[in-house]
Chain A
């Protein structure tokens, strides 16, 4: 008791009772004595004060007053003034006449004052409860004795929450028994939250939620916070992004997945569950119609744990009990884990790590190994060997060779696409598809300078081979092989051929094949440009068909397209309009660069396949995301915007979410909820990674976009999100064999620093310049000796005496 008293004395809060009689001591007059009028006029807004109303000091109140005086100094530090209001006899104001005024101190916070009501009987409690019904909630606390830590915690909580809830305190065990269903342990403090605000029926008692944790300030605070949170949260955004009080306080959040049709029932379910889980977990109602969820339709419940990085679990549960068991078991498990944490933390961690480490997290490797049992249709693809390789190259005009390794995942993924290419090209004359497994025939691969796989080379009879450097995809590869069939650049002899070439009708091999054609037109004099173009065409072979025309009437041809030779005529696949481009660049590299640039579309539809070409421009992207084709008006406006600025500072493009569904993934990353489509986005891909969304209320017109872009540049717009700057770290740790070795074989002198101390005898000091072999020898010799020594005599055959004497003899000989 005395220890508690000490604490009580030193605490800065007040106590209602003071059973012991401590003699009065002089104390600093921090305690103000005021009359009620003075007091109320001195109350300052926002300042708390502890007031004591007294008619006159009765002997029983003396020790209490003393405590208040003692606490005055401490309380001052907290901005609380301690005031004694002397109630004159005739004063009948509320504070002065109130029953048991002697036993109460009022905490004034600004103009509000709150009190912790002390009750002794059940009737008192019920009265208070009834009075609160429909108005506010009640916090009822039982403490076995006053002056305890729990008592103080309740009072501290009351200081914070007194304005929100009515605090009621008792030390009467009877009250506790009556308020709980089970047999409570009267020796421990207890706190109940009584939801009286919701209760309007006076006949009904307020719902109660007992706090299960020990009565500490922190736990009470946590409990009251949870009680104060809405029973059911309505969620309309990505559940991964949702955060509620529960999660912040380390409790799980249960989502009840709802649909428009069943909303009312779902809401009732959610509320029912919420009551059951009150204080243990939060409950949220998630409408599937509003959130684009990528989960099974049957899922009806989701569980989000407070642990960071743990994805939400979607579940299919039968009834609400399951939900409750789910949460309670989880917390039980967690409780146990917490208890055992200290001893087992490390082990547990390593265990967890190991389990994950073994699981394949490489999408390509996993996909290929899941596909390994399927037999690939390789009949169309010749398997070449060291013996057949060179002869095969001589057989066909074009031989395509895939160099791969049969154990390597990317190779095998490409091999799968390659079989599809073979299927597409079935019956195409003059092309042989073949493969070399570098794991079987490393010699060929080395000789052909294939140092990494997969690699594809196209060998043309009598010409140098071409290394394929495009996307590893069926379409791209097929197109490359098709286009490589025609020599690049193709020399066109007549103006008719040249025109046919531009129309895509010549050469006939490609007439049925959609492709972009590029025609270089040269007057004979411009041979330097022509040579460069020839080389550039060679480099671009397979990616674009190039033709050359340098007959006498070249001028006439080029004039038709408003350019003069040397010039390029570009006929894009699809629309067959021909663009004329003056050829000013002379070096091969510049020309290749220029052609690549010219091949880019002004307002392309961005796809997985073509994005890299535009990424290389290293410019911000202005993308119109669209579900399906974009509208004609938007298309026109965007095209105007793109064309308007020839030296565009950004890539204007659009993305068809139907064709490129991964675009949804992009939008998901940008926005918590899927924006309505179409949506225009500005992404600073290469600088800062900021993402801006064009205001949806504005229509997509060139003018609107331009003024919006102006605002962006001026920094007047707030980015919707910023791309993560995170580095690509190892996804999981590796086995730490070094550590395992040290743990398992502690004597293993792995540490060079240890080693010296551990085994000094084995390693006599040696000349520092010496080498390892010599260094090793002493130990080797001792080993050899050990092995050899039992055989020193003819084991078990020669008299021992003889052996010993012989030893002695030999030594004397030396």
Chain B
């Protein structure tokens, strides 16, 4: 079949065909190659399929999601599967569904696959199988890509083709390479005695195997705690050791940190129930096995100092010098749970796939557009792309990368197919509404806070605007080139942020008065809340680079915070919408109020210019007449003048019933002081 395809392609594109002949090897060509049929690979495949692009997914296993077939070892996913939110808004509900991939098919919602809040990993495997099958995604299973290299070609999209080789020496050629391999290579440490350490990937998951044992766990992440949680009830005690101190995700707002569901050991440690946590550099460790098979902890330093290769007895143990040394008790087992890293091994040097620096070394270096720093046309998706927002947002997890994958797809559509970033054009009167709608329901903005942003591009004279959803904010400066949209008249950037000094490992996130209730102090909001940046012109790359530390964006011309809300419902007319409208009005120097037709009528006869709402509604024969009741309310509020002549000179209106109603309405009008203690309920809970 391969030669047939090749021949067909040769007929279609002679020059590429001839190249193949020269190189002598048979290549299967696709515009897009995706490596890995995990969640991000399938997500990318879905979007390519929807756009009718020529793509293929290579999966080394016989089924999608092979990582989930093995991991997590104890099978409990820590991504929430919230089946009830009290809302029917499907977009909103994705904010609390961390497992589903994006698709148009309502059958492919994860809540149909599991009833558990923390589902079993098998459900994920089934889900991914269905996702690939129901959507008829083109996945080539049992194909392990073992080598990737480049073939220079000036005709190619990116100046080169990607040449992929699988385990059977079959070659593939692609114009664009999407790497969705995740991070699956276990992190190991080497120290004297590390041969006695069992790995998370193979350790027994049966608690019985640990009965009456003393266990040391290396690592401080969710896999370490998950392992501990599993055997907590049967062991003598468990000690955990790792370089960094434990970071609780509820304190850091980072889902990759230790989740409360796994932290049973913290409980027993703090309640002095024999289990314990220790901090130390694993590379300084050494493990010695005594004659009874017990494992003793010592320091590499002592081992290096010993003079002979004598037996265990000659080795200094810390407790010899310091008789209260913490880990002086011998262990029965030592388990390594140190996480995974990206597989760099399959890429030819020419691709310059470099590991990140510092704590991002497990990820390849990529740009905020998810394109590799070393190779144009190579995009990293999914968990492996987490260097963009490591320890900040959700880009390393399904509920985050499903959106960044869509963003990458949109970038590619624009770059290679001239399909500009999807956008909707609205009249300016819809400006406040369109923002309120999105900040209340958009899941991408919410999950990928501070990473993906909605962009509003203003049209000339601010009479209309164009709305772009979920653009990677890190490449804001390249917006025109990346989206095919023009931004000559200024723009708004809408993102979600936590308070700048709120989250963190050492922070007390339960302090009193942590929640802001008043709109005028919204900028001090601590919980996730919408922030709108206004730029009179697109920030330049230099400005992006020189932005203040911890700021997702450079200094704007104006900024607005919508005050945090306990229910994350930002639809309150006075606390949320009114201040936003004032902000937008002042940025655009216009009046964005709504008016009843009657007011527009008056303006039409008494002013040469009309406010936008009248111009775009009333004048186009779509004025808002309003019911009589509403009209009365507006009059009572002093916002609409009642010109009905009050001819009857009597003191009381003729109709007594009407009088009483008037009284009622007047009572309504008494301004109610905000109930301060209710505004700040967040503190009490």
**A and B associate in one complex:** yes
Q: Which residues of A does B touch, CB under 8 Å?
A: 294, 297-298, 354, 357-358, 360-371, 374, 385-386, 405, 407-410, 413-414, 416-417, 420, 439-443, 451-453, 469-476, 608-609, 611-613, 615-616, 621, 657, 660-666, 669-670, 683, 685, 689, 723-738, 740-741, 744, 748-752, 755-756, 759, 762, 768, 770-777, 779-781, 784, 787-788, 790-795, 797-799, 802, 805-806, 809
What is the bound-complex CA distance between A361 and B358, given in angstroms? 53
Distance in Å from the Cβ of A87 to the closest Cβ of chain B? 70
- B518 (CB) vs chain A CBs: closest residue: A358
Say yes or no for B163: interface residue by CB 8 A criterion.
no
What is the bound-complex CA distance between A741 and B427, given in angstroms? 32
- What are 27 A-B contacts defined by CB distance under 8 Å? A298-B651, A357-B578, A357-B582, A358-B519, A360-B639, A362-B578, A362-B581, A363-B639, A365-B577, A366-B634, A371-B629, A409-B594, A472-B623, A665-B606, A685-B608, A723-B607, A726-B609, A729-B591, A737-B559, A749-B549, A756-B546, A773-B388, A791-B244, A794-B325, A795-B278, A799-B321, A799-B322
Distance in Å from the Cβ of B75 to the closest Cβ of chain A? 31
Distance in Å from the Cβ of A636 to the closest Cβ of chain B? 25
Known contacts A683-B605, A759-B549, A798-B325; A451/B358 CB under 8 A? no
Stretch at the interface among B84-92, B166-174, B266-274: B84-92
Interface size of B by Cβ–Cβ distance < 8 Å? 132
Starting from the known contacts A364-B596, A781-B357, 10 additional A-B residue pairs (CB-CB under 8 Å) come to: A297-B651, A358-B574, A371-B630, A409-B594, A417-B627, A616-B619, A662-B643, A755-B548, A773-B367, A809-B304
- Note all chain B residues with C-beta closer than 8 A to A374: 629
Q: Is the CB of B571 within 8 A of A407?
A: yes
Q: Is the CB of A366 within 8 A of B633?
A: yes
Q: Is the CB of A777 within 8 A of B611?
A: no
Nearest first, the 4 closest Cβ-Cβ pairs linking A and B are A473-B625, A791-B279, A407-B571, A730-B585
Say yes or no for B188: interface residue by CB 8 A criterion.
no
What is the bound-complex CA distance between A730 and B633, given in angstroms? 23
Q: Is the CB of A728 within 8 A of B590?
A: yes
Say yes or no for B3: interface residue by CB 8 A criterion.
no
| Residue in B373, B427, B639, B643 whose Cβ sees the most chain A Cβ within 10 Å | B643
| Residue in B87, B322, B556, B596 whose Cβ sees the most chain A Cβ within 10 Å | B596
Stretch at the interface among B45-53, B288-296, B434-442: B434-442
What is the bound-complex CA distance between A476 and B547, given in angstroms? 54
Distance in Å from the Cβ of A788 to the closest Cβ of chain B? 6
Q: Is the CB of B606 within 8 A of A809?
A: no
- A689 (CB) vs chain B CBs: closest residue: B608
What is the bound-complex CA distance between A153 and B640, given in angstroms? 51
Distance in Å from the Cβ of B617 to the closest Cβ of chain A? 8
Q: Is the CB of A734 within 8 A of B560?
A: yes
- Note all chain A residues with C-beta closer than 8 A to B433: 405, 408, 452-453
Partner of A794, one of B327, B543, B669: B327
- A776 (CB) vs chain B CBs: closest residue: B549
Known contacts A385-B88, A405-B433, A797-B326; A772/B368 CB under 8 A? yes
Known contacts A791-B245, A797-B325; A809/B547 CB under 8 A? no
What is the bound-complex CA distance between A792 and B642, given in angstroms? 76
Known contacts A611-B601, A683-B605; A806/B299 CB under 8 A? yes
- B88 (CB) vs chain A CBs: closest residue: A440
- Note all chain B residues with C-beta closer than 8 A to A777: 356-358, 360
Partner of A771, one of B367, B524, B558, B571: B367
Say yes or no for B509: interface residue by CB 8 A criterion.
no
- Note all chain B residues with C-beta closer than 8 A to A621: 605
Partner of B604, one of A360, A440, A685, A780: A685
Q: Is the CB of B88 within 8 A of A386?
A: yes
Q: Is the CB of A365 within 8 A of B573?
A: yes
What is the bound-complex CA distance between A440 and B91, given in angstroms? 9
Q: Is the CB of A772 within 8 A of B545?
A: yes
Q: Is the CB of B637 within 8 A of A367?
A: yes
What is the bound-complex CA distance between A740 and B581, given in angstroms? 19
Distance in Å from the Cβ of B431 to the closest Cβ of chain A? 11
Interface residues of B in 55-110 (CB under 8 A from A): 87-91
What is the bound-complex CA distance between A436 and B545, given in angstroms? 45
Q: Is the CB of A473 within 8 A of B597?
A: yes
Q: Which residues of B does A touch, CB under 8 Å?
A: 87-91, 241, 243-245, 278-281, 284, 299-301, 304, 318, 321-322, 324-327, 356-360, 365-368, 373, 387-388, 424, 426-427, 430, 433-434, 436-437, 440-441, 474, 505, 519-520, 522-524, 542-549, 554-556, 558-561, 571, 573-574, 577-579, 581-583, 585-587, 589-591, 593-599, 601-602, 604-612, 618-627, 629-631, 633-634, 636-637, 639-646, 649, 651, 665, 668-669
Known contacts A413-B624, A442-B89; A730/B630 CB under 8 A? no
Distance in Å from the Cβ of B549 to the closest Cβ of chain A? 6
Q: Is the CB of B573 within 8 A of A369?
A: yes
What is the bound-complex CA distance between A732 and B243, given in angstroms? 55
Q: Is the CB of A798 within 8 A of B649?
A: no
- Note all chain A residues with C-beta closer than 8 A to B593: 361-364, 731
What is the bound-complex CA distance between A441 and B571, given in angstroms? 17
What is the bound-complex CA distance between A443 and B278, given in angstroms? 51
- A794 (CB) vs chain B CBs: closest residue: B280
Q: Is the CB of B523 within 8 A of A741?
A: yes
Q: Is the CB of A612 within 8 A of B299?
A: no
Q: Is the CB of A366 within 8 A of B637?
A: yes
Distance in Å from the Cβ of B448 to the closest Cβ of chain A? 15
Distance in Å from the Cβ of A536 to the closest Cβ of chain B? 17
Partner of A788, one of B244, B427, B595, B627: B244
Distance in Å from the Cβ of A369 to the closest Cβ of chain B? 5
Q: Is the CB of A470 within 8 A of B643?
A: no
Q: Is the CB of A368 within 8 A of B630?
A: yes
Q: Is the CB of B281 within 8 A of A730?
A: no
- Note all chain A residues with C-beta closer than 8 A to B577: 365
Distance in Å from the Cβ of B339 to the closest Cβ of chain A? 15
Distance in Å from the Cβ of A227 to the closest Cβ of chain B? 38
Q: Is the CB of B606 within 8 A of A728?
A: no
Q: Is the CB of B426 within 8 A of A451?
A: yes
Partner of B640, one of A363, A414, A768, A781: A363
- Note all chain A residues with C-beta closer than 8 A to B594: 362-365, 409-410
Distance in Å from the Cβ of B142 to the closest Cβ of chain A? 35
Q: Is the CB of A451 within 8 A of B424?
A: yes
Q: Is the CB of B574 within 8 A of A360?
A: yes
Distance in Å from the Cβ of B378 to the closest Cβ of chain A? 15
Q: Is the CB of B440 within 8 A of A734?
A: no
- Note all chain B residues with C-beta closer than 8 A to A663: 643
What is the bound-complex CA distance between A548 and B391, given in angstroms? 70
Q: Is the CB of B281 within 8 A of A792?
A: yes
Q: Is the CB of A794 within 8 A of B279?
A: yes
Q: Is the CB of B637 within 8 A of A363?
A: yes
Known contacts A723-B608, A772-B474; A367/B643 CB under 8 A? no
Q: Is the CB of A737 within 8 A of B645?
A: no
Known contacts A471-B597, A612-B620, A806-B301; A476/B586 CB under 8 A? no
Partner of B555, one of A665, A723, A751: A751
Distance in Å from the Cβ of B278 to the closest Cβ of chain A? 6
- Note all chain A residues with C-beta closer than 8 A to B639: 360-363, 366-367
Distance in Å from the Cβ of A664 to the closest Cβ of chain B? 4
- Note all chain B residues with C-beta closer than 8 A to A794: 241, 278-280, 318, 325-327
- Note all chain B residues with C-beta closer than 8 A to A360: 573-574, 578, 637, 639
What is the bound-complex CA distance between A364 and B600, given in angstroms? 12
